[in-house]
Amino acid sequence: MSTSVAPQESVLSPKFYEAMKALEPQYPRKTALILPALHQAQSEFGWLPKEALEAVAQYIGVHPAQIREVASFYTMFNLKPVGKTHLKICTNVACVLRGADDLVSFCEKKLGIACGETTPDGKFTLSEEECLGACGTAPAMMANDDYIENLDIPKLNDFLERSQHER
């Protein structure tokens, strides 16, 4: 614990500061640590509240706006709370050609939410995603950190049913 440099008032845990300390020597400048820091911070909350972004900014030593800029650029950072299962359906060219649009509308109908929204029970968040790099197995989606590929509506339906009943 002696390596912890967590400021008293930080919303981020000492674990965050330890992890960063370990990474620091691998990067040329502190600003190069913004992405790993955001991933680490997100792992603590499941999303990135304003206070977490500010704590990251303070740690890196830049204006909080610069952190917000980076966090808002990448779709893997959540600036709003997300459901237990975060569905990210690729709607880039290859996937759309293979029916990704239908998958999105199927989810919207089944879950009763639009893209970018979370179900009232907090179980699902639905997002569109730019290329997941899985064009060979299109259409593809991510459910939290897992890839699910070669999707069709029955397969998607099964997955949603199963996740629905998981606790």
Q: Which residues bind another protein (CB under 8 A)?
A: 62-66, 68-69, 72-73
User: Cβ of residue 65: shortest distance to another protein, in angstroms?
Assistant: 4
User: Cβ of residue 35: shortest distance to another protein, in angstroms?
Assistant: 15
User: Cβ of residue 133: shortest distance to another protein, in angstroms?
Assistant: 17
User: Cβ of residue 70: shortest distance to another protein, in angstroms?
Assistant: 9
| Count of CB atoms situated within 10 Å of the CB of 128 | 18
As a whole number of angstroms, the distance between CA 36 and CA 74 comes to: 12
Of the pair 132, 160, the CB lying nearest another protein is at 132
Of the pair 2, 73, the CB lying nearest another protein is at 73
CB 134 within 8 A of CB 126: no
Of the pair 63, 162, the CB lying nearest another protein is at 63
As a whole number of angstroms, the distance between CA 84 and CA 80 comes to: 13
- 71: nearest Cα among 45, 39, 46: 39
- The token duo for 106 is 């199927």
Of the pair 1, 65, the CB lying nearest another protein is at 65
